Structures are given as structure tokens and as C-alpha cells.
Amino acid sequence: MDVSVVKSHIQTGKFNRYYIFTGPEVVVRSAYIEQIAKVRKAPIKTFDTFIELSKFARTVSLLSDASIYVVTDDTQIISDDKLQSVLRDDRAFRNDTIILVFNNIDKRNKFYKNFKDEIVEFEYLPESTLVNYIKKQLALSNRNCQSLIDACDRNYSAILLELDKVKHYMAMHGNLSADDAFDKLVQSNTLYVPPRDAIFDFIDAVLTRKIKKAYALLDECYASGEFTLNILSNLFNNARYVLQVQTYSGSNKLTDVTGLTPFQVKLACGRKNTYSPDKLIELMKLSQSAELGIKTGKIDDEVAVEYVLARFWT
């Protein structure tokens, strides 16, 4: 289901009995939940699990006014057919609205396929929309709007936090313009910088074939306390992301066909075409094999990653 459909439900006041919200844009997602509650004039009530909520099925609406029930990241309903049948049952929660919220749903699993038409994906907003939203908050130049969007990887939640910093700085320094305040915060490294740690840089070095840098960063990973199994898992996953992006490089909607987030697609696009698909598959197999070797005691934890790299680059 497209977000625009939910918007039309809010405008008409005619809602589905349940929705499934997912996607990385948390602020917009939360705003839609609040709008549904506002239009329905119903309180928002949260539950940790759907099974906890399901105990009230067929009774709660008869005993009280309508409510908006929100359940976040409940993994049990993903695999429990009985709970899913309760969710689909038109006799349950007759006057209420149920919203299941997941930060991410694997598009390969049965749950996604069964509820595809009810799932609403809140993806990162288009840059043009973000620029408009920023300018409603502060009179920033297009250049600084773009800088902020890039720094926050289009994450509107992060953008709002940075805009608050600019507003506070302006309030503390009198007649300073938004652009002047923004520039001064950038110069003092006060504004948001996307997290970059050793393992991120190591993965990037491997997938862009910077061999010497990769080995140096591997030492840095271990010095910072990184676990070998985590490094191998990241190698496997990121090689898979690049493989998916290369495979579907002709598609206009890589997030749809790959199931990756916009940020994962962005990273993979910066790393694609360094290796052939066969070579990426080889890296995935080597990483998986080394992980299994550690768990079965056949490969020493301390040399497993170096073993993978040596085999991969030979």
C-alpha cells in the first residue's frame, strides 16, 4: 500500500481496521499514526506484543471507546499463522485501528508476501521535499540545505535535530542569519557527521580493492574490540548488497527489487563494478565458510579474516 493511500484515509476519515507500517523514516511514520488518532479522536495505546493485545480481541471495543493500538517490532507475529489470523479477523477489535510497526521487514519471508497489500513503507523523503521542509523551519540557502541532507543521509529525524542546533545557536548569538549560524557550526564540527568506524571503513576498503588499507583497518578493527564473527558477517552482507545492486543495475527502483534500504543501496552503488558477480559470490562463500570454521573449531578466530582476504585476493 502506498503512503498516499493512508493519506487519503486520513482526509476522508475512512480507515482500514489495521495497517502495517515499516521503513526508515521514523518521524513521518509517527506523524501519520498521530494523524490517524487525531482524526479518529482516539487515544494511542501501545503493546509490546500482538499476543498481549490479542487477549482483548472481540471484547475491548464493546467495553470502551475506540482506540489506536500500536505494536512495535513484534517478531512472533511474523511467523505465527494463528496470530496473523486474529489480525485479519473482521470480528476482532471491531471499532479500533491496529497499527503494527516494524523498522524493517524481510521481503523474502512469508509474512511480507501474505500482507504485501497492507504494508506501508515509509522511505526517506525525496530531496526536493526535504529542502521544502527545511526552508519552512529555517531560511537556509539551497547549498546548505543540500549539505545538511547529504550529511544526514536524507534521514529527516537527524535533519530536525541539526536544525534545532542551528536555531539554538542563532538564539544565543543575536542577529546571526541561518546560513551564518550553519556555517559556524560546520566549521566547529558541531553539526551531524554520519558515523564512520573501523569496520565500516574496512568493509569499504575490501569492496573497493584497497588492499593495503584494508589490512591496516583490520588491525584497527581488532584494536577497537571488534569480534571476528561480526567482521565476517559484515563482509558477507555487504558483498551481497553489491551483488544485488549490480544484478539489478538497470532498475529505476533498486530498493523495491533488492529489498535493501536507500542507505544500503547508496553504499552498494559506491562499491559496485569493482568485482565481477562471480568474485562477489566467492567472497560471500569464503566469509560463510570461515564463520562456520570458527564455530566448529576448524579455523582459528585470530586468522580467519586474513585467511578470507588471502584466498579472495589470490
Of all residues in the chain, what percent carry a pLDDT higher than 90?
A: 33
pLDDT at 62: 47
Query: How many Å apart are CA 314 and CA 310, to the nearest integer?
Result: 6
Q: Flag whether the pTM goes above 0.85.
A: no
pLDDT of 215 higher than 90: yes
17 pLDDT tier (thresholds 50, 70, 90): confident
pLDDT of 71 higher than 70: yes
Q: Which CATH number fits the domain that encloses residue 82?
A: 3.40.50.300
pLDDT at 210: 93
Could you read off the pLDDT of 229-276 as tens digits, one per residue?
Answer: 889 988 998 999 999 998 887 766 787 788 777 778 888 888 988 999
Go through 227-240 and write b for each residue having 16 or more CB atoms within 10 A of its CB, e for each that does not.
Answer: ebeebbebbbebbb
Q: Which CATH number fits the domain that encloses residue 212?
A: 1.20.272.10
pLDDT of 61 higher than 70: no
27 pLDDT tier (thresholds 50, 70, 90): confident
Sheet holding 97-102, edge to edge: 44-47, 68-72, 97-102, 18-22, 119-121
Greater model confidence, 98 or 62 = 98
pLDDT at 81: 86
109 within some domain:
yes
Q: 213 and 307 share a domain?
A: yes
Q: 97 and 159 share a domain?
A: no
Q: 48 and 137 share a domain?
A: no
pLDDT at 193: 59
Q: 173 and 63 share a domain?
A: no
What residue numbers bound the domain in which 151 lies?
127-187
Query: How many Å apart are CA 94 and CA 99, to the nearest integer?
Result: 14
18 within some domain:
yes
pLDDT at 312: 94
pLDDT at 133: 92
218 within some domain:
yes
Q: 19 and 52 share a domain?
A: yes
Q: 213 and 300 share a domain?
A: yes
pLDDT at 95: 78
Q: 61 and 154 share a domain?
A: no
Could you read off the pLDDT of 105-132 as tens digits, one per residue?
Answer: 877 788 888 898 889 988 888 888 999 9
Q: 57 and 76 share a domain?
A: yes
Question: Region 60-89: what's the mean pLDDT?
Answer: 78
pLDDT of 96 higher than 80: yes
230 within some domain:
yes
Mean pLDDT of the chain: 86
Question: Region 147-168: what's the mean pLDDT?
Answer: 85
Q: How many domains does the chain fold into?
A: 3
192 within some domain:
no
Question: Region 179-197: what's the mean pLDDT?
Answer: 77
Which helix (H) or strand (E) segment is 4 a member of? helix 3-12
Query: How many Å apart are CA 16 and CA 109, to the nearest integer?
Result: 23
